[in-house]
Amino acid sequence: MTDHFDWDRLARYVSGESGATERADIERWAASSETNRAMLESVKRRWNVAGEKATWNVDAAWSRLAPRLKDVVAESSVINLASRRPASPSWLQPARYGLVAAAAVVLIAVGVRMASDDAMDGAETMAFSASEMRTGAGEQRTIDLADGSQVVLGAASTLRLADGFGTGTREVFLEGQAFLRVVHDAARPFIVNAGGTRTVDLGTAFEVRAYPNEVVRVAVTEGMVEVRRDSGPAADSAVLQPGDVAEVPTTGETVVKRQQNVERLLGWTRGELIFDDTPLSDAARELERWFDVQVRFDDPSLRALPWTAKPRISDSLTTILELIETTFQSERVRVERNGNVITIRRGAAVNPTANPVSRNRLEAGA
């Protein structure tokens, strides 16, 4: 092996498929220079800590790295890295070996690295080169982009990079919620497309929230951004400075609120769900995203009840539902759970099979 990094041999080594002679050869190669040693340690670490639930688009990563590789053929597919550890030597069969090599290439390309043990529970950090990243209910990830910018992606969200990101353009497409700390480049502005809006970086850190069927919200903590619609009059745009929050409805004018407590809106990045006189229906949508449940109201009047609370995302769902009952005790609010369905009702439970939260009859660990 030489300093050009023999990807196929590294793939066999980190997947445990190298023979004794090849292992010794690779270890001698790694010992021959600090660069080689660092490369091998990086690949081993990234292979071992890759998230069991991560699914990567190999085609996107391969297209970027193929010119650098020799004698390695990737199968055209999306590879679930949960299958990366071989159950038997069948990984070395010709039909399977492409998967091992491609998986290693993806790991090298995206540079997966888990957050340190003292980071927020459930958070991950990854250097991002693939074209799309998703989070599920209750998931949060931090993504280091190729241009040096960083994105904290909230629950149930998707971030997609435009073709050529980092070279000819710096444009992304978001559905969901993200906090972005952007490296400013006047020649290549960073643009976030979300929910029919375009948010253009003017040197800043900001949040964009654009879940389906909700008002798009942009909140600025540092620098400035310009927010405008994808279509409509050019005058329908606003420049936001630190502390400003813009709300862009599907129809109607953009509303800009100045000197807001933006840090409160960013509580989710610190592991908190901050509700400040929040309608209970809006709080319920947050619980759905972070705890993968469905929340129903059997009395529509309960939806508008204002709720003020700061539960931790790491709290059990039982604890949070009990907090709702306690807060609205004077309103005779009852919260019941059957599986992943939460029902908020008024008065005594009417379903004898339901589990009232206040009696601690929910499933253990809920």
Higher per-residue pLDDT: 212 or 351: 212
Higher per-residue pLDDT: 208 or 33: 208
What residues contact 55, with CB distance under 8 A and at least 6 apart? 78, 79, 80, 81
Cα separation of 80 and 84, whole Å? Answer: 8
Predicted pLDDT at 259: 92
Predicted pLDDT at 220: 96
Predicted pLDDT at 176: 96
Question: Same fold for the domain at 115-264 and the one at 272-359?
Answer: no
Q: What is the dihedral of CA 236, 240, 244, 249, to 10 degrees?
A: 30
The pLDDT confidence band at residue 334, using thresholds 50, 70 and 90, is very high
Q: Give the rounded percent of residues in the chain with a pLDDT score beyond 70.
A: 66
Comparing 41-55, 112-126, 276-290, 342-356, the range with the smallest average pLDDT is: 112-126
Residue range 115-264, CATH number: 2.60.120.1440
Q: Which amino acid is at 349?
A: A
CB 43 within 8 A of CB 14: yes
Predicted pLDDT at 64: 45
> Can you name the residues that pair with 151 across neighbouring β-strands?
143, 180
Task: Say if residue 57's pLDDT is above 70.
Answer: no
Task: Say if residue 115's pLDDT is above 70.
Answer: no
Mean pLDDT of 58-70: 44
Sheet holding 355-356, edge to edge: 294-297, 341-346, 333-338, 355-356
Higher per-residue pLDDT: 17 or 24: 24
Task: Say if residue 42's pLDDT is above 70.
Answer: no
Task: Provide the residue ranges of all domains of the chain, joining segments of one domain with +.
Answer: 7-111, 115-264, 272-359
Predicted pLDDT at 46: 60
The pLDDT confidence band at residue 245, using thresholds 50, 70 and 90, is very high
Task: Summarize pLDDT for 190-238 with one digit per residue, the tens.
Answer: 999 999 999 999 878 999 999 998 999 999 999 999 998 876 555 578 8
Mean pLDDT of the residues in the chain: 75
Return the CATH fold of 272-359. Phage tail protein beta-alpha-beta fold (3.55.50)
Cα separation of 270 and 125, whole Å? Answer: 14
Mean pLDDT of 160-179: 90
Predicted pLDDT at 55: 43
Rg of the chain taking only CA atoms, in angstroms: 24
Is 220 exposed, middle or buried (CB count within 10 Å of its CB: 0-12, 13-18, 19+)? buried
Helices H, strands E: what count in the chain?
A: 8, 21
Cα separation of 177 and 54, whole Å? Answer: 19
Predicted pLDDT at 272: 94
Beta strands 150-153 and 170-181, pairing class: antiparallel
Mean pLDDT of 114-143: 62
| Orientation angle between helical segments 58-65 and 94-110, nearest 10 degrees | 80
CB 304 within 8 A of CB 328: no
The pTM of the full predicted model, rounded to 2 decimals, is: 0.62
Predicted pLDDT at 204: 86
Alpha helices (H) along the chain: 7-14, 20-31, 34-49, 58-65, 94-110, 262-265, 280-291, 317-327
Beta strands 190-194 and 197-210, pairing class: antiparallel
